[in-house]
Structure 1
Amino acid sequence: MKKFAFLLIAAQLAFVSPAPAQSIDSIAAVVNEDVILRSEVKLATDNIIAQNSARAAELPPRDILERQVLERLIMMRLQLARANSSGMRVEDAEVDQAVASIAQQNNLTTAQLVAQATQNGMSEQAFRKTIADELLLQRMKMAYAQSTIRVSESEVDNALSSMSKGGTQYHLANIVVTLPEGATAEQIELGQKKIDGIKAQLDKGELDFTAAAMRFSNGPNALDGGDLGWRAIEEVPPAFAQQLVSMKQGDILGPVRGTTGFQLLKLVEVRQNAAASNTVTQYRVQQILIKSADPANDNAARAKAETLHARLAGGADFAKLAKSDSDDAASKDRGGELDWRSQDGLGEVGATVAGLADNGLSAPIQTAQGWVIVKRLGTRQGVAASDDQRAQARDMIGRRKLEEAYDRFLREMRGEAYVDIRRADGSSESAPVATPAPAPAN
């Protein structure tokens, strides 16, 4: 049976819906005002074991696996609660569309998909809830990315330039030992000892990397053996990128202390992409925009642009005038400077810029937005890329930035939450274990 895109996430990362409470059920954890039942942990653990039946020997003992699953369920509940409190919702029609899409990708009817998904005891309602929860988490992560992650045009240009040289791609896997926010010296020392112990077992051949990741890693990909997939160098955190290029297949880097804790990184495979051959001249420019709804007939806007041009021609500092007088919110704080762009990328002023010499200043140019003055600062040869290629490069860089930032966000969320993990007898793990009183002396 094929692994469904959503169901694989649901099973392996424990995105499962609560199982119906039964008289024999008990609470595994209290998460703020919510609870996680032991039946949920059991169902998610059974799913993971079934999904990994071919590599059962690599799985950790069941008690450790259940603890990993419980932690993932805790993180799921915290994220869902945050998404719901932010007013995010997933409609039934969106779930219908997702279910139909998964079925189509696996050459199944919707009824066949539901039948296969529910054959291990999950109800159809729980299956749909799983899909809805995953859609909601994706929506929250996207909203976080849109509000937090910024990728500049120069970063996109640099990535495309690297790709034009025949970019190398790296298949990576990692093992993560996380540290809490504001970790104490003792917590850091314990984390260091744990990661050093894992590395020692790997070096001695007592464990392979996949088994070690599944058993010991705190990373969200632990139950995938730490697999990170194929990545370009631009998608690799800077702490690793410089050393990665000199590693050989099979090498393990670390331990390295990063933003989330300690990490080991394995280079599984390397492959080369063909070099891109098309290049184009790119220009670095400054601009001042005087906005106008009707530039052809707006004498005041034109007069202001001409006055600014005269001051610039007389030696006034372009950056200072841009900061004080430009109406282009995106560039004025940077002294009017734009990222490297081709002639086409500069739109209506592109032909004028191409005709200037470096450090040349244009006369006011009438555009749809108003009157523009540009100064050409320099040129270079860059990669000729379509909008789609630039979007792909921007997405690649954004994913790398999001991975680091979102992980910190989740750790902060976990640290701020009330989480009470319960023992099998119902007592809290944060409370001391009761010990029997000593037997009376004879």
Structure 2
Amino acid sequence: MRHILSGVAVAATLILGAAQPTIAQNLFAPVVYINDKAVTRYEVQQRMRFMQILGSPADEAGAEDALVLDRLRMYAAQQLGIEVTDQGLQTGLEEFASRAGMSAAQFTAALEQSGVEPQAYRDFVRAGVAWRAVIRQRLLPQLNVTDAEIDQEMKRQIETPIIDRVLLSELIIPTPPGQEQAAMDRANAIAASQPNEAQFAAAARQYSAAGSAAAGGRLNWVALDNLPPSLRPVLTNLSTGQITQPLTVPGAVVLFFMRDSQGTLRPGAKEQVLEYMTLRMPSASEAAQLAARTRSCDDLYVQAGSEAAPMVNRQTQSQNAIPTLIATRLASMDDDEAGIVNYGNAADVVVLCSRQPALLAEAQADVATTALPDDGVEAAVPDQQGIPSREMVREDIFNRKANAAAEAYLAELRADAVIRRP
């Protein structure tokens, strides 16, 4: 599920419980068919109750849609001959329950106390286990992550400031016994409206029980390290002007609105490592003619000719190790652009091959370099604070591609399915 909850929040909801849905007539009557597989009203009510416990939006339409998607997942598994074994299902049940700090048996018992039948939990997990098998068999073999994609993502992370302070507004809706679902519904409605700062402030003044309500929920700047660890990733994933999904805590449902954030760059993030080429020419005019003909780094060897090509000097150096005149010329150049440095009695043709953050260059163990050990690269990389390895970045990109492919395939299954109501 996309909505990520802490184990504490799930466990607290299970203990406190929430409002029971109204039991309708014809409880086991089908409400919708998906490829001739029925979803009953009872299943919808059970899923709605299950979603309430997980802290997800829990209206009837959302629960029905979730069940439709599960039927499509099981249909895809059936088409591929995938079956969920008892052992596979039990592993899935244990893994999901562990998110709430429980065993599968404990989680099932807690669900029963809150009005959710064990079969509803088992069906939910079975669809998830089957869908993962579908993704592995059908989609993952088609996915690939290139080195260029890894470089681009690592460069983005290196050049993105690390958030260390946030400016938040809060909205805390109390949940007295018996009113938990009403509070969650209100919080979901506020979050779904995607309010701007003024609208969030108006909602906080109307609904919040916090002392900040009179100020529209506005808080002062707070250091990220002073916030609970479980809350930090939720907030750092917000952009300015965005609101969190409802967060359940004992006795309340909480919303946060990000008004602003501040951060600092990693040490060494501004330092660059450049790969470039130089070729000394007898005069500025000859250098200018050669530079005008050169279209890339590799092309310099061709344009210089067989006699001059061995004199081409190609190297990788940090900025502070490059001679000043050459470094100044490279500063305004793009990749594969050629220029000249005129010394009066001679001139250098200079071609920039690439530039990248020093931290990225250091992280690439296989980067070839002709620079000497004391060229300054090490000094440019004093601390790789928080930089993931290439394998971690590759895995993250791969997972994002897999999620996107899975969503696209699920949409395709839905478009091709026969969905009808009785």
TM-score (norm 1): 0.43
